[in-house]
């Protein structure tokens, strides 16, 4: 009996596919790539304008390659079925080279791991798409040249172990540029004036000052605000105009990769890396009891919002059955891609909407269930009728000068919102518009109950979250669906940025490296240049650009900059070794500023004979740290003031009389450890990856710890000794919740003197 060898990337996928195929098929997994450029050298032969990559088998893949070759010798036909993207095409090409077989080798493509999709793919075998392969080779060679040529310069001028990347360095620059904007931002004062009015029909409603003398109201100081309040108090308020319009809100398209990563970050708190890991599991197959492994979603790396007609038809049947015909459009909802090149894949959707999340929940772990539910709801909602609401805008004249405006909204039909509503990256200020106004009439005189002037200050642009950084990269055309997750991980792993309370902060090291690269390699860190390179790689995939010419066009000016950089790049090692007034208590030398893995620190210049080092304080002063107020107490050992310092493992408190007094303590929270009989206090700590957590100060005797920031407020519902800070899914508001299982108590973060408490 003849046999066909089918090679996929993942053992899980191999298991799922093996269930669908008969004994005439042997299904094997390559477990990802089988060969790549060598790890310890450039691995690219450059002759003029020609670039020849020198691939070698990956370390540890010898046994897998041998098994694939053995199976290939026995097979009559070989089918290569890695993932349906550039990376998968390159893996198929590398496998074919390693097998070295002369018998037929074909490529098969399927975008979902289902029996019908696999059957169709097997009936339509293809040749390996060399344009896709060359696009992947181009990206790999570009990244290798940037990394292997620039990184040694950073080793020489900053410290060993640093790296540069064609896309990662641009992402770090974006974080650094945003931080510079925040530091340079000058707040501008402005005032809002909100009134509470009441007509002949209750209830009272709010209206804001909208215009002054026919121009947009701009109130810049308290004196002006007070004058307006005085004028309003003596004015008659009359409705001058009422506008009523029926509006629609259309559903959002089904997920593409970037949008899935953004929404999973907003609603589930997932990192981009975690989103891709869990979606890979859903794609490759989940054991559904007696049904065996089933691929639950389509391929999760895609730029396309296109959906197969058969999937749309099934979805429409589901909507009619589950929600009723009022929710079903007369015609299917359709969505357009930004460009034709994105149409190779479908959007991310359930392979069958018949796999209703609640019905298969018992077969999924918590993360799988939450992500699958998000994908299922978004897809079903995308084929539903729009939500309809009635919007009322009321213009009110207060005297002759001031126009007030009230906006209300009344929902007429919930439409797709019955299933799903997209989250937001910011708090938004349109909730007032979602309230319904009372019955009002033009010409009606209103009673003025209250005037509330409120001072505001313009805010700097917010720091990036993973969600907003992915969004920014996508909008600027930097990176592709398969790269966003690795970018988020790499820039943190390299120590160039830190994620604090889910927002990216550049480290001293990240800002230094970015500054050096901006001055020495301006194109490499140029957002527009990087975006054009991504577009050129797309053209290679489409067959409209020669990959060798693309590499040559990049390398010629790059090589010239490298030669210049060897001479001109600033040596941060030498520049950073400024002498301080701090005296080394071990040998008496003046200590110097140096760069390390965790940023700047001060060290004895007599290294290696003297290995004394100290933290450089949060404000960069040689003695380190910020002195705490007197009410924070004194050093228990020498009665000197205390200082708050930043160290390798986060913030800590120490004696200001260091090194004479070496007293240190963790930053306390004022929250007692909840473990019975412990008597300890929860203190601030930092994990190896730089993430803040809170643990008992009696560790290792007590190992209680929590990621959530504790507040010294007992729960009024169950009397648990403290509450923890949480962020509402899909909203910017922080709330306090009880951490006790089974208790659902929640309240707003309390305010003192108009400012939210911040421990």
Active site residue ranges: 299
Query: Exposed, middle or buried: residue 127 (CB in 10 Å: 0-12, 13-18, 19+)?
Result: exposed
Query: Which residues sit opposite 724 in a β-bridge?
Result: 710, 737
User: Which residues in 335-373 are b (16+ Cβ under 10 Å) and which e?
Assistant: eebeeeebebbbbbbbbbbebebeebeebbeebbbbbbb
Nearest 10 degrees: CA dihedral of 269, 696, 724, 686? -40
Nearest 10 degrees: CA dihedral of 303, 306, 310, 315? 90
Q: Dihedral of CA 623/629/635/641: which sign?
A: positive
Q: Which of 639, 638, 636, 641 is nearest to 625 (CA)?
A: 641
The answer to whether the beta carbons of residues 684 and 696 sit under 8 Å apart is: no
Q: Which two tokens stand for residue 604?
A: 């004895």
Beta-strand relationship, 4-8 and 25-29 = parallel
Long-range Cβ contact pairs of 621-629 (< 8 A, separation 24 or more): 622/580, 622/581, 622/582, 622/591, 623/582, 623/656, 623/658, 624/658, 625/654, 625/656, 627/656, 628/653
**Angle formed at CA 499 by CA 498 and CA 501, multiple of 5 degrees:** 140
| DSSP structure class, residue 297 | B
Q: What are phi and psi of 271, to 5 degrees?
A: -75, 160
- Strand ordering across the sheet containing 692-696: 668-672, 681-686, 692-696, 705-706
477 SS3 class: coil
d(CA 688, CA 513): 22
Query: Exposed, middle or buried: residue 139 (CB in 10 Å: 0-12, 13-18, 19+)?
Result: buried
The answer to whether the beta carbons of residues 469 and 171 sit under 8 Å apart is: yes
The answer to whether the beta carbons of residues 507 and 496 sit under 8 Å apart is: yes
Q: At what angle do helices 86-99 and 130-157 cross, to 10 degrees?
A: 100
Cis status of the peptide bond prior to 659, with omega within 30 of 0: yes
Any residues with CB less than 8 A from the CB of 515 and at least 6 apart, and which? none
Q: Which two tokens stand for residue 170?
A: 């641009």
d(CA 649, CA 663): 16
Q: Which of 277, 184, 732 is nearest to 503 (CA)?
A: 732
- What separation, in Å, do the N-terminal and C-terminal C-alpha atoms of the chain show? 73
d(CA 697, CA 714): 20
Q: What are phi and psi of 329, to 5 degrees?
A: -65, 155
d(CA 737, CA 743): 9
Distance of CA 125 to the CA centre of its chain: 37
Query: Which residues sit opposite 207 in a β-bridge?
Result: 195
d(CA 728, CA 268): 10
106 SS3 class: strand
DSSP string, 210-227: EEETTEE--B-SHHHHHH
Q: Which two tokens stand for residue 666?
A: 């963790």
Number of CB atoms found within 10 A of residue 105's CB: 21
């Amino acid at each position: 009996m003849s046999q066909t060898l089918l090679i996929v990337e993942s053992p899980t996928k191999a298991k799922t596919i093996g269930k669908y195929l008969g004994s005439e098929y042997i299904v094997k997994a390559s477990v990802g790539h089988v060969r790549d450029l060598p790890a310890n050298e450039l691995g690219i032969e450059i002759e003029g304008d020609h670039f020849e990559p020198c691939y070698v088998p990956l370390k540890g893949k010898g046994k897998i390659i041998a098994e694939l070759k053995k199976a290939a010798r026995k097979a009559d036909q070989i089918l290569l079925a890695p993932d349906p993207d550039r990376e998968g095409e390159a893996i198929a090409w590398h496998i074919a080279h390693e097998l070295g077989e002369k018998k037929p080798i074909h490529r098969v493509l399927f975008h979902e791991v289902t029996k019908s999709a696999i059957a169709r793919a097997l009936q339509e075998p293809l040749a390996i798409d060399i344009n896709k392969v060359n696009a992947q080779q181009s990206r790999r060679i570009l990244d290798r040249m940037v990394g292997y040529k620039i990184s040694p310069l950073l080793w020489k001028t900053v410290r060993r172990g640093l790296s540069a990347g064609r896309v990662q360095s641009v992402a770090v620059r974006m974080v650094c540029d945003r931080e510079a904007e925040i530091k340079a931002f000058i707040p501008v004062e402005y005032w809002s004036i909100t009134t509470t009015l009441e007509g002949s029909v209750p209830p009272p409603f709010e209206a804001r000052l909208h215009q002054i003398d026919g121009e947009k109201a701009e109130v810049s100081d308290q004196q002006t605000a007070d004058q307006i309040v005085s004028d309003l108090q003596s004015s008659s308020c009359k409705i001058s105009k009422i506008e009523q319009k029926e509006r629609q809100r259309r559903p959002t398209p089904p997920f593409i990769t970037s949008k899935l990563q953004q929404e999973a970050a907003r609603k589930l708190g997932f990192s981009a890396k975690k989103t891709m890991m869990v979606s890979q599991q859903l794609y490759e197959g989940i054991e559904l009891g007696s049904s065996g492994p089933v691929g639950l979603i389509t391929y999760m790396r895609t730029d396309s919002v296109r959906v197969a007609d058969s999937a749309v038809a099934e979805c429409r049947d589901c909507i009619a059955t589950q929600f009723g015909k009022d929710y079903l459009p007369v015609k299917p909802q359709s969505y357009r891609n930004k460009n034709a090149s994105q149409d190779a894949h479908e959007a991310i959707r359930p392979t069958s909407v018949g796999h209703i999340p609640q019905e298969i929940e018992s077969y999924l772990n918590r993360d799988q269930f939450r992500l699958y539910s998000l994908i299922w709801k978004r897809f079903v909602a995308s084929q539903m009728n729009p939500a309809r609401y009635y919007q009322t805008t009321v213009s009110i004249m207060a005297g002759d000068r001031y126009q007030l405006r009230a906006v209300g909204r009344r929902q007429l039909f919930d439409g797709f919102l019955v299933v799903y509503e997209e989250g937001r990256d910011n708090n938004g200020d349109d909730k007032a518009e979602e309230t319904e106004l009372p019955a009002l009439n033009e010409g009606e005189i209103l009673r003025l109950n209250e005037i509330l002037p409120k001072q505001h200050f313009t805010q700097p642009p917010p720091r990036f979250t993973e969600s907003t950084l992915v969004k920014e990269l996508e909008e600027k055309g930097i990176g592709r669906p398969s790269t966003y997750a690795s970018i988020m991980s790499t820039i943190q792993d390299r120590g160039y940025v830190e994620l604090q309370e889910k927002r990216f902060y550049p480290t001293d090291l990240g800002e230094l490296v970015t500054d050096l690269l901006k001055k020495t390699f301006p194109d490499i860190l140029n957002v527009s240049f990087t975006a054009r390179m991504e577009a050129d790689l797309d053209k290679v995939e489409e067959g409209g650009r020669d990959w060798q010419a693309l590499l040559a066009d990049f390398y010629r000016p790059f090589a010239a900059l490298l030669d210049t950089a060897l001479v001109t790049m600033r040596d941060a090692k030498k520049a950073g070794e400024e002498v301080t007034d701090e005296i080394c208590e071990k040998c008496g030398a003046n200590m110097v500023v140096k760069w390390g893995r965790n940023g700047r620190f001060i060290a004895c210049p007599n290294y290696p004979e003297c290995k004394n080092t100290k933290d450089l304080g949060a404000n960069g002063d040689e003695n380190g740290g910020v002195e705490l107020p007197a009410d924070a107490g004194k050093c228990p050992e020498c009665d000197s003031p205390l200082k708050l310092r930043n160290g390798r493992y986060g913030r800590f408190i120490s004696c200001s009389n260091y090194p004479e007094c070496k007293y240190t303590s963790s930053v306390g929270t004022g929250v007692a450890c909840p473990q019975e009989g412990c008597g300890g206090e929860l203190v601030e700590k930092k994990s190896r990856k730089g993430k803040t957590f809170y643990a008992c100060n009696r560790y290792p005797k007590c190992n209680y710890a929590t990621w959530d920031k504790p507040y010294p407020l007992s729960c009024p519902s169950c009397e648990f000794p403290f509450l923890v800070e949480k962020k509402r899914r899909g909203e910017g508001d922080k709330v306090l919740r009880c951490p006790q299982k089974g208790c659902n108590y929640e309240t707003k973060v309390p305010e003192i003197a108009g400012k939210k408490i911040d421990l």
